[in-house]
Structure 1
């Protein structure tokens, strides 16, 4: 849309453009960036994303922006693990996982009033980890695990089960992995 920036995309045309743009991007894109490119407000983009999700488009909101989840030819292996650590160990935990070629899809904690609270993380490499932690620091937000004395679950994805097993081994060695008795 570079030269068409002054042209405001309307309704369905804008949603199709958003979908095509997100599909072509390998990195998350912020709502603000999408709004500037389509010459509408960020709130309009948020509404468009909601409508696209309602059509079962696999778009997720991460701390770095919106991401279209591609369905690759090779299915991903997924596993939920339990971890416990303090705030200062969050970077170590995430780096251990991504260094094994594993993606941290989300984090879940069990809240005594609200039940399970799950938030998307979607970090796959150290750059993603740094951006996620920078966002936490910049907003002075709490980690969900701080609600549960550090205990939390992560959904991990990888192209091979062994990658997750290797990450678990290193998390155990670091004293972060909570194992079943």
Structure 2
């Protein structure tokens, strides 16, 4: 399979995918190395294909859309790496979906990474990955301070999430 055909195959697989596809999975299916897939995805992005890299793999950005009827809000949080699970579980158990995490970097400005966590299984997967790469938390760049964009049913649910996080000491306040 030629490189151009392989990139088209990657796009087709992403268009059909309901869940993120890891570079390792794509590499195995297409008979190439993981690094070849990473390079192919970079080239596809350069051709203006909106491919997102999540903690579980690649997904077309259109698959990350949340119903417009849902409420979206941002919360400023501050905590240690040991409190990540508590933060994520508090949000999910109270009806929220964590869309992303954002930190302000002194050189690069705002850095945002998609999370799209809305279930205990996704929390467990994220935490398993985090246990192997703990020093790579984005909030480690900012002393634990970060923002989460959260989607939930309504503003009342969002406020409930905020109050539960505040009760746990995870909300950043002056």
TM-score (norm 1): 0.79
Q: Aligned residue for 2:29?
A: 37
Equivalent residue for 1:146, pick from 118, 121, 140: 140
CA distance in 2, matches of 1:109, 1:73: 22
- Structure with greater proportional helix content: 2
CA RMSD of aligned residues (A): 2.5
- Do residues 128 (structure 1) and 122 (structure 2) align? yes
Q: Is the CA contact (8 Å cut-off) linking 1:18 and 1:34 kept in structure 2?
A: yes
Aligned residues: 172
CA distance in 1, matches of 2:77, 2:48: 31
* Structure 1 pair 73–164 and aligned structure 2 pair: CA distance change class (3 A): closer
Q: Is the CA contact (8 Å cut-off) linking 2:101 and 2:113 kept in structure 1?
A: yes
* Structure 1 pair 48–177 and aligned structure 2 pair: CA distance change class (3 A): same
Q: Following superposition of structure 1 onto structure 2, how do residues 159-174 of structure 1 map, counting pairs within 5 Å?
A: 160-174=154-168
CA distance in 2, matches of 1:88, 1:97: 16
Structure 2 spans left out of the alignment, 5+ residues:
none
Q: Is the CA contact (8 Å cut-off) linking 1:74 and 1:159 kept in structure 2?
A: no
Q: Following superposition of structure 1 onto structure 2, how do residues 90-129 of structure 1 map, counting pairs within 5 Å?
A: 90-129=84-123
Q: Aligned residue for 2:169?
A: 175
Q: Aligned residue for 1:3?
A: none
Q: Aligned residue for 1:21?
A: 13
* Structure 1 pair 47–123 and aligned structure 2 pair: CA distance change class (3 A): same
